[in-house]
Amino acid sequence: MKACLQQVVQKWGKYENNSSVDGSGVYGGELLMKILVLADVESKYLWDYFEKEKLEGIDLILSAGDLKPQYLSFLASFSKVPVLYVHGNHDDCYDIQPPDGCIDIENKIYVYKGVRIMGLGGSIRYKKGKNQYTQKEMNHRINKMWLSIKKNKGFDILLTHSPAAGIGDGPDEPHKGFEGFNYLLEKYKPKYFIHGHIHRSYQMKFKQEYEYNENTKIINGYERYIFEYPDV
pLDDT tens column, 56-89: 999 999 999 999 999 999 999 999 899 999 999 9
Helix H or strand E encompassing 135: helix 135-144
SS3 at position 215: coil
Closest CA relative to residue 159, chosen from 81, 212, 215, 104: 104
For residue 181, the model assigns a pLDDT of 98
For residue 30, the model assigns a pLDDT of 52
pLDDT tens column, 142-172: 999 999 999 999 999 999 999 999 998 888 8
Domains in the chain, please, with CATH? 31-229 (3.60.21.10)
For residue 12, the model assigns a pLDDT of 40
pLDDT averaged per 10 residues in sequence order, the chain, 232 residues: 45 38 43 94 94 94 98 95 97 95 98 97 93 97 97 98 93 94 97 94 77 93 95 58
What is the spatial distance between Cα 98 and Cα 41, in angstroms, rounded to a whole number? 17
For residue 144, the model assigns a pLDDT of 97
What is the spatial distance between Cα 168 and Cα 22, in angstroms, rounded to a whole number? 31
What is the spatial distance between Cα 16 and Cα 160, in angstroms, rounded to a whole number? 21
Helix spans in the chain (H): 2-12, 69-79, 135-144, 146-152, 179-188
For residue 213, the model assigns a pLDDT of 87
For residue 10, the model assigns a pLDDT of 41
Pair 26, 59: CB distance under 8 Å:
no
For residue 170, the model assigns a pLDDT of 87
For residue 232, the model assigns a pLDDT of 52
Q: pTM score, two decimals?
A: 0.86
Report the chain's C-alpha Rg in angstroms: 17
Cα torsion 93, 135, 139, 164: sign: positive
Strands 103-104, 83-85: parallel, antiparallel or unpaired by DSSP?
A: parallel
